[in-house]
Chains A and B, each alone.
Chain A
């Protein structure tokens, strides 16, 4: 019994320390974001950096959204002579290929790339299509995203800096009213981008390339070995390899692009589990290498490890809860103060990466006064995410132990109505938004 109490106390203290470090990190982000009058950005040189670019749009059974994204890219105010759009039909079984071909016939800058064999998944599709790319910069958009007219120029501007290897824009959920989950995810996304990414960029830390609404310098991509088809999070994987080699990831908060977030809890769970497994794989592959890199500062190394280990907050918190229960039933009142501290720190971690205060700060910066009221309901997302993350980590380590290393790349389900196919819900403004 004494041994159990000692172990429980150690677990509790370790959990508190671990979570406190994360809480401090995110409070620094929130403070930095709030206190800086003008965030670091490259908006003043937008339109003055115009290299030849390639836009990759991987699509797998995307007939509902394929026309929207291609139409939006054509409408961008980038010179057509400097623009190459590669629409990738990745083994689709619906009309995606036909839609792409129609666009390729109509517009000279669009090239269709039909992929009929090879491994599945977005990284494999990107790897195959990258060989056709002729642009200095390769930009990426998922098929369900909808870029605004200035998007390409805004994403390209940071590449004026030769240290910038990749750039990331901001994703904004358009279906916030689709379900309570979508509303909560919009809070989380706002915190992740408006607060987390921008603060990390301001502070010269490690902003993260997110694999869509972003881009990468083609020579940098080739220098670090291209897309990793073995990774479930090819974006994080690429971020790590770029950072290790001295490249920087820039973040452009104004480059906002609509995305569709999951409206159903099972879809969200699958998405989160893929992220967790991929992210954790990167933690194992790159944490040591990043720490040894001579081209990163001490704070960049620390932030990179925090970024890669972020999903560990969930099992550590669960461990702390279990330890608290043991200590409670073992009647050790001297630990109750620490239990209260754990509760407080747990309360900070209301989403998978963003803290409670970050959610609030981001909503305030966005001026979403009504959405901020949803914060208490984020408890549901918190518990759901905690379960999904623990489950994913369990699967990850189980597979490592059993030697079953193959992870299947599962696409996140779309919910855009069939009636909307080819008719963007974004054209002509939103419908009854919350602002």
Chain B
């Protein structure tokens, strides 16, 4: 009997606590309103640079500490210490722990360590193998070989990222970014992004070849689709007035002229000088040399653009992506973007007007592929 009573009381207490906690939580929530969404959020690619500059403008107007000199103003804001100098030229291997605001140019030697953000109103030149937290520059910014930026980097002028640099988050510029060999960033955004070895291309835009595979195939007089080599018409279905779906792989060595949107349930491979006027979605996409992609390319896995291909829309891959030598990405009406779920490898002489980003990293690599 005693055990039964104890058991009953224990069960009752457990149940009571179960609901009492819930009831208490509800009493605290009652009458409140959800505050979870930032309704004013808009996606701005150079947000970090803008936000930091805005904060710095406010902070720089705060009164300086007594320890300040003519060449170095010190400002304290909470636990932060801000140093403002007209110009700065750090020698090699310096360590700096405060936030820096430089009114003119900023240079540092090799192997320096800056543990907090830096703001430069003119140009900046970061020495070899230095390590920064983040930097916003109103002029041009050069990151020399082996520089590591833990977070973001933003420049209003040209952002020159030399070989073997690492940027942990976004690299943005309002003018141009030059990405050196073996350098890695999570994402890059600028009106123009280029890799080393840029050469103006003698126009290699595709000429419409007489032997091109037409997708969808032209219609016969009776309304049926004409036979095309490499396409099993039984597997080709119309999804809508402008979109077709193909069950299986579509692999062509010759040029393809795609005249509608196409969903391929397998691989999509097209030959040299193809003209893709519509969007393509496939498990894997490989576009041949010198092709022109007017639409978007979306691959569940790998996506490869061969040499001298031009894209004018979005490239999106769930797997790795490779932009071979001479690839161009631009559109007169709006910026373009390439995103890879895994590594986005960019060979030399690639120019993209817009954005390159990856879940892993964007890396400038040697041009090995043909």
Contact = CB atoms under 8 A, between A and B. Distances in A.
Interface of A: 38, 40, 42-50, 72, 77, 146-150, 153-154, 160-163, 165, 172-177, 180, 183, 186, 217, 219-220, 222-223, 245-247, 256-258, 294-295, 366, 368, 370-371, 373-377, 425-427, 429-435
A295 B245 contact: yes
Contacts of B138: none
B303 to A, nearest CB: 12
Interface centre among B30, B39, B242, B316 (most CB of A within 10 A): B39
Interface string B83-95: 0000000000000
B133 interface: no
24 contacts: A44-B357, A45-B337, A45-B355, A48-B336, A48-B337, A148-B41, A162-B280, A163-B245, A172-B34, A175-B34, A176-B34, A177-B33, A183-B26, A223-B239, A246-B237, A295-B265, A374-B25, A374-B29, A375-B22, A376-B19, A376-B21, A377-B26, A425-B33, A435-B35
Given A176-B29, A375-B22, 20 more contacts: A44-B337, A44-B355, A48-B336, A146-B39, A149-B40, A150-B41, A150-B43, A160-B296, A163-B245, A172-B34, A186-B34, A217-B240, A220-B239, A371-B25, A376-B21, A426-B39, A432-B31, A432-B33, A434-B28, A435-B35
B263 A148 contact: no
Contacts of A162: 243, 261-263, 278-281, 295-296, 298
Give the dominant DSSP class at B's interface: mixed
Contact of A176 (B33, B242, B243): B33
Interface of B: 18-19, 21-26, 28-43, 45, 187, 237-243, 245, 247, 261-263, 265, 278-281, 295-296, 298, 313-314, 316, 318, 334-337, 339, 354-355, 357, 359
B243 A219 contact: yes
Contact of A161 (B22, B32, B43, B296): B296
3 cross-chain pairs, A with B, having the tightest CB-CB distances, nearest first? A433-B35, A430-B35, A373-B25
Nearest to B24: A373
A433 B40 contact: no
Contact of A160 (B25, B34, B279, B355): B279
B279 A149 contact: no
Contacts, number: 178
A292 to B, nearest CB: 14
Contacts of B357: 44
Nearest to B295: A162
B240 A42 contact: no
Contacts of A366: 36
A38 B359 contact: yes
Nearest to A180: B26
Contacts of B25: 370-371, 373-374
Given A44-B357, A172-B36, A49 B314 contact: yes
B245 A246 contact: yes
A178 to B, nearest CB: 8
B240 A219 contact: yes
Contacts of A49: 296, 314
A48 B334 CA distance: 7
A382 B28 CA distance: 22
Nearest to B335: A48
B85 to A, nearest CB: 37
A413 to B, nearest CB: 19
Contact of A430 (B19, B33, B337): B33
B240 A223 contact: yes
B32 A434 contact: yes
